Amino acid sequence: MRIFNISIVVMITASLFLACGGEPIELSDHDWVATSVTGSSASKEKLSNLTLEFKDGQEIGGFAGCNDYRGGATYNREQIKFSTLYTENEKCDDINLEERYLRNLENSATYTYTGGRLALFDDSGNILVEMEKK
């Protein structure tokens, strides 16, 4: 009987864990580096320059390829919403990548975190940006 009770507790705990969306995470516990930006064919080396940092007070920032950027983000365990993101507007060879990256962040609606990887999705469930812990 005791083994049966333990089995039930384990099954309930596992069900609750999976129902809550997997690993618990606080996005601000990590700095993030892009591994994929939908709509861009940038090399892995160029993508690795794109960063995202969650700061105090729902502020975010990072490097977008040419410029540092800043803005805000609100999020819960599944949904995320970025404010308009601002840069200094310095032009460089990677300006198209920068514009695509920032637009994809601004269009993000949900996210998932699995195994050290962060994926940002639009309202239709399409992946916009994939990142990994720095």
Task: Read off the CATH number of the domain in which 81 is found.
Answer: 2.40.128.270
HSE-CB of 98 using CA atoms within 13 angstroms: 20
* Residue 94: inside a domain: yes
Whether residue 35 is predicted with pLDDT greater than 50 in this model: the reply is: yes
* Residue 36: inside a domain: yes
- H/E stretch holding 17: helix 2-19
Whether residue 129 is predicted with pLDDT greater than 90 in this model: the reply is: yes
Cα–Cα separations (whole angstroms), residue 20 to 13, 26, 39, 120: 11, 14, 31, 18
Q: Which domain holds residue 49?
A: 25-133
* Residue 129: inside a domain: yes
Our CA dihedral for 43, 108, 22, 54, rounded to 10 degrees, sits at 80
Q: For the segment 40-83, what is each residue's pLDDT rounded down to a tens digit?
A: 999 999 999 999 999 888 999 999 999 999 999 999 888 999 99
Residue 3 has a pLDDT of 53
Residue 16 has a pLDDT of 35
* Residue 18: inside a domain: no
Instruction: For residues 112 and 29, give the distance between their C-alpha atoms in angstroms, rounded to a whole number.
Output: 15
* Residue 39: inside a domain: yes
* Residue 2: inside a domain: no
Whether residue 9 is predicted with pLDDT greater than 50 in this model: the reply is: no
Question: According to DSSP H, which parts of 29-119 are helical?
Answer: 44-47, 95-106
Instruction: For residues 23 and 111, give the distance between their C-alpha atoms in angstroms, rounded to a whole number.
Output: 13
Count of domains forming the chain: 1
* Residue 53: inside a domain: yes
Assessment of whether the complete model's pTM goes beyond 0.85: no
Check residue 69 and report its DSSP letter: E
Residue 60 has a pLDDT of 95
Q: Tell me the average pLDDT across 21-43.
A: 82
Q: For the segment 94-124, what is each residue's pLDDT rounded down to a tens digit?
A: 899 999 999 999 999 999 998 889 999 999 9
